[in-house]
Amino acid sequence: MTHRILLVDDEPNVLAALERALLDEPWEIHTASSGEAGLEAMAKQAFTVIVSDERMPGMGGAEFLSQARTMYPETLRILLTGQASLESTMKAVNGGEIYRFFLKPWDETSVILALRSAVEKSELEEENRQLLRTVKRQSSELKMLEKSFPGITELRKDDSGAYVLEEISDDEVADLIAKYGG
């Protein structure tokens, strides 16, 4: 799976510096010069992580990340800011559920490690979502089997504690295969 990182900042030099720092990483890097442009980019394709500046003309980073969280909750969000006011930080963290927060000037290594961690977190969360879908599907199939063959999902133990497997006739196996595939 290709991971896309969206960098959002109104300063071209900041975007260029971030892009240079990420050249050796295996991700697709996209940029946007405003929160509005960032939302437009997100409407066209999915991003694994957003890195956004806080102070931008028009839509600020906190508002942008909050909207991004609402519209694309699986995308992780990182905030960069030159302004370290407690109020703006709390607003951004609470409203946008920020994964990480960095002050400008940032340490390149720390940002790269945070992005790697965010990508890994995203992969694990997707794997968990897939496993949950599998468990739900299997649970539904077991309920259908139990309805057709009462007691089939029960586990019984003998006196020694060993599980007892009931014999299923060839006809019952054929019926199961015909009904549920094999």
Class of domain 4-129: alpha beta
In this prediction, residue 182 has a pLDDT band, given cuts at 50, 70 and 90, of low
What are the Cα distances from residue 6, in Å, to 52, 65, 77? 8, 12, 10
Tell me the whole-structure pTM to 2 decimals.
0.76
The predicted-structure confidence for 50-94, as pLDDT tens digits, reads as follows 999 988 999 988 899 999 999 999 999 999 988 666 676 776 676
**What amino acid is encoded at 80 in this protein?**
L
